Amino acid sequence: MIKNGKIVTATDIFKADIGINNGKVEALGKFDGTESIDAEGKLILPGGIDVHTHLDMPFMGTTSSDDFETGTIAAAFGGTTSIIDFVVQPAGETLSNSLSIWEAKAKRSCIDYGFHMAMTDINDSTIEEMGEMVERGITSFKLFMAYKEYMCDDSSILKVLEKAKDLSALVMVHAENGEMIDLTTKKLLSQGKTGARYHQYAHPAIAEEEAVGRAIALAELISTPIYIVHLSCAGALEMVRRARARGVKVFAETCPQYLLLDVKKYEDPFEPSKYVMSPPLRERWNLDVLWRGLSSGDLQVVSTDHAPFFMRQKEMGKKNFSKIPNGVPGIETRIPLMYSEGVRRGRISLNQLVEICSTAPAKLMGMPQKGMIAPGSDADLVIFDPDKEVTLSHENLHQRTDYTPYEGMSVVGYPVKVIANGELLVDNGEFVGEKKRGKFIRREPCNIAGGR
Ligand code: URP
Ligand code: ZN
Ligand code: ZN
């Protein structure tokens, strides 16, 4: 039982005790009982759901540095109790074998997890296999419109959209125009512009805007929903906003890095490679536009795109920015940052924080047992101290990497106890949960009707 806390859902804030039994919320009300946690003065949020992570992912000649154990422990410290990670189909592999590879990695997970299937090889046989994936609880498929080794052409995207429509599955896209990026990269390198700071110019906003517009048009033709991952700039958001205004079911996420950091980071004289991610950081004026998109509902989700690397891995691109493994760590810092920089600064409400970090991800990704605090839902709960001040540093975070893009930044508001399926995982800075306890989430078709 958790007593005296202030429960926050996507729609309400109220004081009640929470009765927990068998890993589920049994009742909300006023109870007596011995086995209880006192949450007086604290907020109780539904466990965070991060629908975009890359744990133990082979990528750009190396592997992301958090595995399912270290990454999910870090997630729990930051108030995230479920993730959806991307299976990335290795070239020539079946979807079924690709899934088996990720199932083996995920046995180490300390929190519940699901998978999206990132298809890199679209042919009759992989299209056919999509049905088996849905039966096995993988109800979303991701396509890359960039990265030479993974990217799909429009004809492949259309085939996947058609099959996904038959299966009530959701197609997600990394929307950047890969050909534009390739051409620009070659030009920059041939001019001797090889340093990490040139990454931003190789990935101009127009390449994202074009790809978002095209992905939406393809989905509109097939009359099936589409989900844009890691949207980073105002032009791309405008594409989403216009499509939603004409009734297209397009959904989009952004990430804390695009809401809080800007291109100035590429001027860091020592380590601009820390901030090499795709899409890249944008000009500062975009940030307010993204915050407004979250508050208006044109952006529905904040995920992390957690793709951590050590600085020694980033050095692989010392002489050529296009060889720097793309990605930043962030699985642990999402909720504290969104509370401190979002809620406390009046950019989003407390209910919206819950909506975009937990409730909407659960609805959109077909996890009706998650994302809320209600009788029958999974007892995934974050006891959050709204006044706790923490200075973020890779030294006090638990992500397995040697930097955070938020080094030295102070946040106010932090999880103090984190409970997953009724089990206490994090207690005042200690991981007290069992390891490898996470269960696979067999997802239902995506509840698009429930999306805003
Ligand atoms: O830079 C990024 N985003 N790295 C991870 C892979 C991806 O594109 O999501
Ligand atoms: Zn991506
Ligand atoms: Zn990603």
Whether 355 shows a pLDDT value over 80: the answer reads yes
36 vs 423: which has the higher pLDDT: 423
- By three-state DSSP, how is residue 442 classified? coil
Instruction: Return d(Cα 369, Cα 363) in angstroms, integer.
Output: 9
Measure 307 CA to ligand 1 centroid, in angstroms: 7
- Tally Cβ neighbours within 10 Å of residue 240: 25
Residue 213: predicted pLDDT: 98
Question: Which atom of ligand 1 lies closest to the CA of 278?
Answer: 1
Please give the sequence-ordered ranges of beta strands (E in DSSP) within 33-123, or none if there are none: 37-38, 43-46, 48-53, 58-59, 62-63, 80-88, 112-118
Question: Which atom of ligand 1 lies closest to the CA of 277?
Answer: 1
Residue 234: predicted pLDDT: 99
Helices (H) and strands (E) in the chain, counts: 14, 21
Whether 452 shows a pLDDT value over 50: the answer reads no
The average pLDDT across 135-153 equals 97
Could you tell me if the CB of 116 is within 6 A of ligand 1?
no
What topology does CATH give the domain 45-364?
TIM Barrel (3.20.20)
Q: What is the pTM of this model?
A: 0.98
Q: Which residues pair with 302 in a beta bridge?
A: 254
Question: Which atom of ligand 1 lies closest to the CA of 307?
Answer: 5
* 37-66 residue pLDDT tens: 999 999 999 999 999 999 999 999 999 999
Q: Do 307 and 328 meet the contact criterion of CB atoms below 8 Å apart?
A: yes
278, 145, 308, 345: CA torsion to nearest 10: 50
Could you tell me if the CB of 333 is within 6 A of ligand 1?
no
Instruction: Return d(Cα 351, Cα 358) in angstroms, integer.
Output: 10
* 182-236 residue pLDDT tens: 999 999 999 999 999 999 999 999 999 999 999 999 999 999 999 999 999 999 9
Nearest to 129 by CA among 169, 85, 84, 83: 169
Report how far apart, in Å, the C-alpha atoms of 77 and of each of 24, 65, 171, 393 are. Answer: 21, 18, 30, 14
pLDDT band at 326 (very low <50, low <70, confident <90, very high): very high
Whether 180 shows a pLDDT value over 90: the answer reads yes
Residue 450: predicted pLDDT: 41
Could you tell me if the CB of 307 is within 6 A of ligand 1?
yes
Q: Is 83 exposed, middle or buried (0-12, 13-18, 19+ CB in 10 A)?
A: buried
Residue among 278, 313, 314, 321 to mutate when testing ligand 1 (max atoms within 8 A of CB): 278
The average pLDDT across 282-294 equals 98
Measure 219 CA to ligand 1 centroid, in angstroms: 22
Instruction: Return d(Cα 443, Cα 116) in angstroms, integer.
Output: 10
Contacts 24+ apart (CB under 8 A), 32-36: 33/1, 33/3, 35/1, 36/1, 36/2, 36/3
pLDDT band at 27 (very low <50, low <70, confident <90, very high): very high
Residue 449: predicted pLDDT: 46
Please give the sequence-ordered ranges of beta strands (E in DSSP) within 271-334, or none if there are none: 301-302
233, 236, 241, 244: CA torsion to nearest 10: -140
H/E element holding 390? strand 381-391
Nearest ligand to residue 303 Cα: 3
Residue with CA nearest ligand 1 atom 7: 278
Amino acid at 28: L
Could you tell me if the CB of 250 is within 6 A of ligand 1?
no
The average pLDDT across 409-417 equals 98
Question: Which atom of ligand 1 lies closest to the CA of 146?
Answer: 8
Whether 34 shows a pLDDT value over 90: the answer reads no
Could you tell me if the CB of 363 is within 6 A of ligand 1?
no
Could you tell me if the CB of 272 is within 6 A of ligand 1?
no
* 363-394 residue pLDDT tens: 999 999 999 999 999 999 999 999 999 999 99
State percent of the chain over pLDDT 70: 98
pLDDT band at 451 (very low <50, low <70, confident <90, very high): very low
State percent of the chain over pLDDT 90: 96
Measure 142 CA to ligand 2 centroid, in angstroms: 9
Residue among 143, 148, 277, 313 to mutate when testing ligand 1 (max atoms within 8 A of CB): 277
Q: How far apart are the first and last CA of the chain?
A: 32
Please give the sequence-ordered ranges of beta strands (E in DSSP) within 220-359, or none if there are none: 226-228, 250-254, 301-302
Q: Do 200 and 232 meet the contact criterion of CB atoms below 8 Å apart?
A: no
Residue 445: predicted pLDDT: 87
Question: Which atom of ligand 1 lies closest to the CA of 326?
Answer: 1
Whether 324 shows a pLDDT value over 80: the answer reads yes
Q: What is the mean pLDDT of the chain?
A: 97
Cα–Cα–Cα angle for 63, 120, 173, rounded to 5 degrees: 95
H/E element holding 414? strand 410-420
Residue 35: predicted pLDDT: 77
Residue 447: predicted pLDDT: 67
List for the chain the helix, strand, coil content (%; round to 5): 35, 25, 40
Instruction: Return d(Cα 409, Cα 319) in angstroms, integer.
Output: 30
